Structure 1
Amino acid sequence: MFGKYLVLLSLMSVLVVTGCDSTNEDNAPESDGPQLTSLTGPDVDVSLALTSAQLDWVGQQIFRNECAGRFQCLVHWNDGEAFPSLGIGHFIWYPEGVEGRFVESFPALMEYMEQRQVDIPEWLRALEPFDAPWREKADFLAVDDSLRVAELREFLAGTQGIQAEFIFRRARQSLAKVIEAAPDNQKPEIAARLESLSQTPGGVYAIIDYVNFKGEGLSPTERYEGQGWGLLQVLLEMSESPDQSALVKFREAADTVLTRRAANAENPIERERWLPGWRKRLETYAEPPVFKISK
């Protein structure tokens, strides 16, 4: 049984972006993805397949979700946060000495861009250590209209496709980890829920966006009162109602999980300002007319 599960996990890490370059996956499978065998016997296919045009749409939608696609928002510092957020996915970048509870993602994006041989601004590449150069929001606001910040925004505006690839690959890598982290008796149903979501364009988008939005749910620091709010927690919260689609169940479960997070948060800004915005974002978890699943 254990060996069979390891095979399942190794296969589940494979997702396909048709038409996108890959630096580490020269032997990528066909875009319809592998058939995966679950712990309970039936085949489970949790591969995600997107063409480059579909991935562009997902990236643009994530950018709209984060800040309505505004150029100025590509380098931003939210009220109530101890770090700036950058790029279409509002990737977290901690200043030196700040140890936040949320998973930092901007340095990983820069590493991915280096692998893709993207021309990164020299001052950004030369930072050592690679920490955000502003210690607090007031420091950032003092230089918000500087040439360096303008260059950073232009750089991020010109690399939106690469950022979308990075977001997709993070979601891809999360699937096996999420199933592995689930309670043993719920691993098959978590895999089945991911399979159901992966069958529709809205479900594919929801998985990718939610991992970028609230993470995998695996970091022990991303907890309030011992309760997380990432992809794993949403999948565990999904109902078994036969009268609802997987996407509707995912959206409702995400609302429950995020409402619980806001209720457990010490900072009232999460309940008063952030939760309404989170719920608005969840409303985009619907079947878009823009694209169909790639076959």
Structure 2
Amino acid sequence: MLPLFLAISAQASDVDRAELAKIGQKVFQNECAGHIECLTSWNAGEDFASMGIGHFIWYPQGVPDSAKRFDESFPALIRWMVAQELNVPAIALQGCPWNSRESFLAAQQAESMQQLRYFLQQHMDAQVAFMQERLEASLPRIMQAAPEGKKQHLKANYHRIAVMPMGHYALLDYVNFKGEGVKPSERYQGQGWGLMQVLLNMDTRGDAMAAFVESAQQVLAQRVRLSPPERQEIRWLSGWEKRLQTYRISR
């Protein structure tokens, strides 16, 4: 198993700080269109807050892990920042103190929320460094979870994307955006939508980035079709597709 992802991990690590800073700005534009207020958000129809440039998920305090369909990434980011000896605001060191979108929005101008936004604004570099480590950590999990007969197909498609000018951005952003695709709860009717599913679904012919974007479009359209009707996920699909198109745009 190990040889299959060692080369991939090394390739993911070969990104300098200037490149990561550019990627961080692109992710910030994708999630927030550059608006600082968006660094602390709670989207309509969701049962969690979305924090930072990557809209890292933060469930209300007391929600059991079994009830968390999506990977909760904000606490992991905060633990990583504490390990980097950053002066994390006290409000982020505990569980999410708001138990509903309404209470969260009512607190948007509270001093503690403003301090948290300022902290997230000042440490965008740390957030994208965390995202980079998250991508690297995801690779062995994705390879392990892939069907035995499809591992080489997945690995080949990863390499095809990684060597392209916008490839590392596409991989890092998609993992942050829609996850690894290995968590059983991140499925609708048994079908996932993470990076693993996109790489497995990719055509091996032609332009790699075009194939990646087309595969992601198919995977996300399938997610919407299979989603619970009450979530009304169709409202997000055009925005998701617009985001995918940024992977094609040259620097």
By the TM > 0.5 criterion, same fold?
Answer: yes
- The answer to whether residue 221 in structure 2 is matched with residue 281 in structure 1 is no
- Which one of 140, 151, 164 corresponds to residue 187 of structure 1? 151
Does 2:142 align with 1:178?
yes
Q: Which runs of 5+ in 2 are unaligned?
A: none
Distance (whole Å) between structure 1 residues aligned to residue 207 and residue 9 of structure 2: 24
Structure 1 residue 269: Cα displacement? 2.4
Matched, 1:93 2:55: no
2:232 is the alignment partner of 1:269:
yes
The corresponding residue for 1:252 is 214
Structure whose residues are more often helix by fraction: 2
SS at match of 1:280: helix
Q: Does 1:137 align with 2:101?
A: yes
1:82 to 47, 56, 60: 47
- Percent identity between matched residues is 43
Shift of 1:96: 2.1
Q: What is the Cα deviation at residue 13 of structure 1? A: 6.4
1:100–1:180 Cα change, 3 Å? same
Structure 2: distance between partners of 1:50 and 1:254: 24
Corresponding residue for residue 126 of structure 2: 162
Q: How far did 1:245 drift?
A: 1.3
- Write out per-residue CA displacement over residues 141-171 of structure 1, whole angstroms, 9 at most, x where no aligned residue: 1111111111110010011000000011111
**Offset at residue 123 of structure 1 (A):** 4.0
Q: How many corresponding residue pairs?
A: 247
Q: Deviations over 1:175-225 (max 9, x none)?
A: 122122111111111111111111112111110000000000000000001
2:36 maps to 1:71: yes
Are 1:13 and 1:173, in contact at CA under 8 Å, matched by a contact in 2? no
- Residues 73-123 of structure 1: per-residue CA shift (max 9 Å, x gap): 000010000011000000000002332200000000011101111111234
What TM-score do the two structures reach when normalised by structure 2? 0.94
Residue 53 of structure 1 corresponds to which residue in structure 2?
18
Deviation at 1:14, TM superposition (A): 3.3
Kept in 2: contact 1:83–1:92 (CA 8 A): yes
Unaligned runs of 5+ in 1: 16-45, 290-295
Find the counterpart in structure 1 of residue 113 from structure 2: 149
**Over aligned residue pairs, what C-alpha RMSD do you find?**
1.4
Does the 8 Å CA contact 2:50/2:57 hold for their aligned counterparts? yes
| Residues 8-27 of structure 1 aligned to structure 2 (within 5 Å) | 8-9=4-5, 11-12=6-7, 14-15=9-10
> In structure 2, the residue corresponding to 1:222 is in which secondary structure?
coil
Helix, strand or coil: the match of 1:177?
A: helix
Find the aligned partners of 1:123 and 1:50 in 2 and give their Cα distance. Answer: 32
Q: Cα deviation per residue 1:237-289 (whole Å; 9 max; x = unaligned)?
A: 10132xx2111100000000000001111135211x11111001001011522
| C-alpha displacement of 1:8 | 3.3
Greater Rg by CA: 1
C-alpha change, 1:123 and 1:176, in structure 2 (3 Å) is closer
Contact 1:48 1:204 in 2 (8 A): no
